[in-house]
A and B are shown apart, each in its own frame.
Chain A
Amino acid sequence: MNLPELPPYATALGIELDHDEAGRPVLHMDYSERVAGRPGFLHGGAMSGLMEMAAIAALRAELERRGEPMQLKPVNVTVEFMRGGTEKRTYAMGTVTRAGRRVALINAECWQDDRAKPIALAQMKVLLSPAE
């Protein structure tokens, strides 16, 4: 799989591609002062940002497999925070639940030590239009 290019926001936060999991990119983000929230914890906004990047990367990978270059326009995102993120490396992966011709729905989750205990979930809706 071609690694999807990450946008400036991802690069600025140190978000990188960790590995490819059956065609779905897994991203990681190391803890730094830049992503710190309340003392000792990851900021929820940084967590959300990481999950959004994973969701977009998963969608781009899926669209590439289909051979349909599309322009993406985010419609909305819902984030559920389940556990506080601590000062550790955080991972995120997106799963394209449905990608039709006009709308895509992507679920994303992020975790730290234990993959089975995600710290947050996100669901994102993206409008698709043919790339010019």
Chain B
Amino acid sequence: MTASKTLHDLPPDFVFDPARASKLTTRHGHGGWLGIAYHQHGADWVELALPWRDELVGVAETGVLASGPIISLMDNATSMAVWTLAGRFVPHATLDLRVDYMRAAVPGKTVIGHGECYKLTRTISFIRGIAHDGDPEDPVAHVAGTFMATHGTYL
């Protein structure tokens, strides 16, 4: 694990552990710049945290975060949920993602992305999730989407 720089360098027998794997995805690249960090996980879900900052606002009048950071957060959280459910890392590509914005995130509050994989087939994984800023019953956004395994299969 110490020699792995990205998820693609993980040994083939690595049983996917989102807490350890996040260390690889949150240090570099877009996730690193956004400051996305591991929060917690279960059998088919992973939560990641996105610290709020002014730089991430997309519509100045409302303070609503740009969809980019929310999509990145949810793309990463739901990807990890897929690999957690599959039990291993499977290279995949995002096919589509829909984000519904329920309200603006409260400026200053960390946004939690709760990503869940609700169905795995050999090639396609189906995901959904919410982003909230403290109260899961009052989400900031709701997402749904699909991924496709690009090398190998999920099952």
Q: Is the CB of B68 within 8 A of A9?
A: yes
Q: Is the CB of B97 within 8 A of A78?
A: yes
Q: Is the CB of A74 within 8 A of B59?
A: yes
Residue B93 lies at the interface, judged by CB distance under 8 Å to chain A:
yes
Interface residues on B, range: 35 or more
Q: What is the chain A residue whose CB lies nearest that of B34?
A: A45
What 0/1 pattern do residues 54 to 86 of A give for CB contact below 8 A with B?
Answer: 001000000000000001111111111100100
Q: Is the CB of B66 within 8 A of A9?
A: yes
**A37-B29, A38-B8, A45-B71 as given contacts; A8 in contact with B64, CB under 8 Å:** no
Most-contacted residue by chain B among A13, A49, A80 (CB, 10 A) = A49
Residue A100 lies at the interface, judged by CB distance under 8 Å to chain B:
no
Q: Is the CB of A49 within 8 A of B59?
A: no
Q: Is the CB of B33 within 8 A of A33?
A: yes
**A7-B59, A9-B68, A49-B68 as given contacts; A75 in contact with B100, CB under 8 Å:** yes
Those of A34-52 within 8 Å (CB) of chain B = 34-39, 43-46, 48-50, 52
Q: Is the CB of A78 within 8 A of B96?
A: yes
Cβ contacts under 8 Å, A72 to chain B = 59, 61-62
Instruction: State the CA gap A56–B30 with chains docked (Å).
Output: 22
Q: Is the CB of B8 within 8 A of A9?
A: no
**A43-B31, A49-B66, A53-B58 as given contacts; A78 in contact with B8, CB under 8 Å:** no
Cβ contacts under 8 Å, B123 to chain A = none
Binding site for B on A (CB under 8 A): 7-10, 12-13, 33-39, 43-46, 48-50, 52-53, 56, 71-81, 84, 124
> Can you list 27 residue pairs at the A/B interface with Cβ under 8 Å?
A7-B59, A9-B68, A12-B55, A12-B56, A36-B29, A38-B8, A43-B31, A44-B72, A45-B34, A45-B75, A45-B76, A48-B67, A49-B69, A49-B72, A50-B68, A52-B58, A52-B68, A56-B58, A56-B59, A72-B61, A73-B62, A74-B58, A76-B98, A76-B99, A77-B99, A79-B97, A81-B97
